[in-house]
Amino acid sequence: MKSFAPLIDPFARAIDYLRVSVTDRCDFRCTYCMAEHMTFLPKKELLTLEELDRLCTAFVRMGVRKLRITGGEPLVRKGIMTFFESMSRHLDRAPGERGLDELTLTTNGSQLERFARPLHDAGVRRINVSLDTLDADKFRAITRWGSLDKVMRGIDAARNAGLRIKINTVALRGFNEAELFDLAEWCAREDMDLTFIEVMPMGDMGEVQRLDQYWPLKDLRARLAERYTLTELAHRTGGPARYVRLEETGQQIGFITPLTHNFCESCNRVRVTCTGELYMCLGQEDMADLRAPLRASEADASLEEAIRAAIARKPKGHDFDYSRQTIGGQVTRHMSHTGG
């Protein structure tokens, strides 16, 4: 008999948000995310789509209400729409039954022109698109391989399909500081939400230095306040962002600040990598192997036991820190492996 007790961590936080990476591969090579010449995982190490379905279904039984699919770039995974179509069954549930409130994804937008309509048909209603600049040349430079025009076509396709879009922008000193107001005003015109994210110390970037990229969001927010009236909002979407409204435009702006002001006290989420590693905290190295119990038995008892044991080890918070011109709390794995 399976246990349906909710997932509660040692600090009485209910874990109801799961982020799952379906691939470490990506068609971009963003300079803050991965090295230009990446060595990707052997395909045999990745969970199959069927294993991902079984894993996510176990979490749903245990109380997860929000499922975000990430990568790498999730839409480059072969056959990925069969996974979305299968997981959509958890959105259609009888009153009182456990299931998903939301199925969503984070994408670089490169494949949206092709997949926007099928995603909507599978029950996805809201997506995050990672976009750090509106300048085509700078976009090519930051992504190394990407086409801004292709991403913009994808965004148009997503809006036409009925998907609500939030733009995620990594704040990068010396790169997109001058575009702050352009990005905000573009999102206001297009009726898209916008969230800024501090660059996080994850993975070896080779020649790229984290401290050179780091633009604290308290400084970015102060810049916004020079032009707009910012009103604090109590709004939450289940993630780590804190929100304000720009009164002059009426739009919502989010701030994800893992370094200048972490959000650990309300953390309700865990992450599973494409190889089945469960990370209880983005900024800690401790993890649990879920691939082994998945492949050891067709029954889910040992899988559920491994999940509960891992949640019992979830730490109070992470240790990211750029103070004193050094990088504290850096983790060795790349964001593309853990899931963006």
Any known ligand binding at 138? no
The amino acid at 124:
V
pLDDT of the chain along its 340 residues, tens only? 455 788 999 999 999 999 999 999 999 998 888 888 888 899 899 999 999 999 999 999 999 999 999 999 999 999 999 999 999 999 987 777 889 999 999 999 999 999 999 999 999 999 999 999 999 999 999 999 899 999 999 999 999 999 999 999 999 999 999 999 999 999 999 999 999 999 866 445 444 455 577 899 999 999 999 999 999 998 776 667 899 999 999 999 999 986 555 567 778 999 999 999 999 997 778 899 999 999 999 999 999 999 999 999 998 875 544 443 444 444 454 555 566 5
- What is the C-alpha separation between 235 and 242, in angstroms, rounded? 8
Would you give the distance in Å from CA 4 to the centre of its chain?
27
Any known ligand binding at 106? yes
Any known ligand binding at 274? no
* Nearest alpha-carbon partner for 186 in 256, 106, 246, 126: 246
Any known ligand binding at 323? no
Any known ligand binding at 56? no
Any known ligand binding at 200? yes
Q: What is the CATH number of domain 17-338?
A: 3.20.20.70
The amino acid at 258:
P
Any known ligand binding at 143? no
**pTM of the full predicted structure?**
0.88
Any known ligand binding at 72? yes
Any known ligand binding at 270? yes
* Nearest alpha-carbon partner for 180 in 115, 148, 234, 226: 226
Distances (CA, A) of 268 to 201, 240, 310, 316: 21, 9, 14, 11
Any known ligand binding at 2? no
Any known ligand binding at 130? yes
